Chains A and B, each alone.
Chain A
Amino acid sequence: DAGVTQSPTHLIKTRGQHVTLRCSPISGHKSVSWYQQVLGQGPQFIFQYYEKEERGRGNFPDRFSARQFPNYSSELNVNALLLGDSALYLCASSYFTAGNTGELFFGEGSRLTVL
C-alpha cells in the first residue's frame, strides 16, 4: 500500500510569493495533519483536518491556510512568504475517529526554501 505522498519534494520561492503544498493520505485514512519542522526542532502543529473539516489549528498566522478535499487529500497554502517560513513541511495521515487517538504517519515532506 502506498504511504503518505507529498508534492513537491523541494521548492524555492522568494519573499512575498505564495506556495501550495499537496498531500495524499494513506488509503482509508480520513485525517490529515500538517506540521512545520525547522532545522534542529521538532515538528510544530499547523492544522488538522478530519472529514474535510478543520479540527485544530496551531499557533501560525493567517497567512497559513489549508483545506481537505472529498477524496481526503489536502493542500497547505502559505501566502506572503517570509524568510522564516523556510522549513520542512510534513503531512501526516491517521486513521482517526472520535474515539481513537490514532498514530501519525508522515510523508517525506516538502522542503521549502524562501530567498
Chain B
Amino acid sequence: QKEVEQNSGPLSVPEGAIASLNCTYSDRVSQSFFWYRQYSGKSPELIMSIYSNGDKEDGRFTAQLNKASQYVSLLIRDSQPSDSATYLCAVKSSGTYKYIFGTGTRLKVLA
C-alpha cells in the first residue's frame, strides 16, 4: 500500500463545474496536509495547507480533512481551463522532516 494515494486521472470537468480531487494516506500520525498544483514542465506551487479536521476555504479552493478516515480532498469551484494541471497531495507526519507526495491527479478543464 502506497503511503499517499491519488487517482492519476485524467479527471475531466467542464468549465464552471466543481472539480473534486481526492487523496488517502496510510500513516495515522500524519499531522500536516498540503495541496500543490504543478503545470507541465514546471515545479509544484503550494495551493493550501490544512492541519485540522474539517474544511478550509481559500478563494475558489476548499480543502477537506478527515483524519479518522485518513482522507483529504480538494474542491475547485468554478473550474477554469487555467486550472488544468496535475494536483499533488502531500502529507507530513509528526516527528519527521519528510513530506510524502502522491503521484498526482491530472485535471483537465474543458472550455
Report whether over half of chain B's contact residues are helix, strand or loop; otherwise say mixed.
strand
- Count of chain A residues near B, Cβ 8 A: 24
Write the nearest CB–CB distance from B109 to chain A, whole angstroms: 21
B48 to chain A, nearest CB (A): 9
Considering the chains assembled together, what is the distance between the CA atoms of A33 and B103 in angstroms?
Answer: 19
Judge if B14 is at the interface, Cβ distance under 8 Å.
Answer: no
With A42-B88, A42-B103 known to touch, is A58 a contact of B98 (CB < 8 Å)?
Answer: yes
B residues with CB within 8 A of A:
4, 31-32, 34, 36, 42-46, 49, 51, 88, 90, 92, 96-104
What are 14 A-to-B residue pairs whose CB atoms are below 8 Å?
Answer: A40-B103, A41-B103, A42-B88, A42-B90, A42-B101, A45-B98, A45-B100, A101-B51, A104-B34, A105-B46, A106-B43, A106-B46, A108-B42, A108-B43
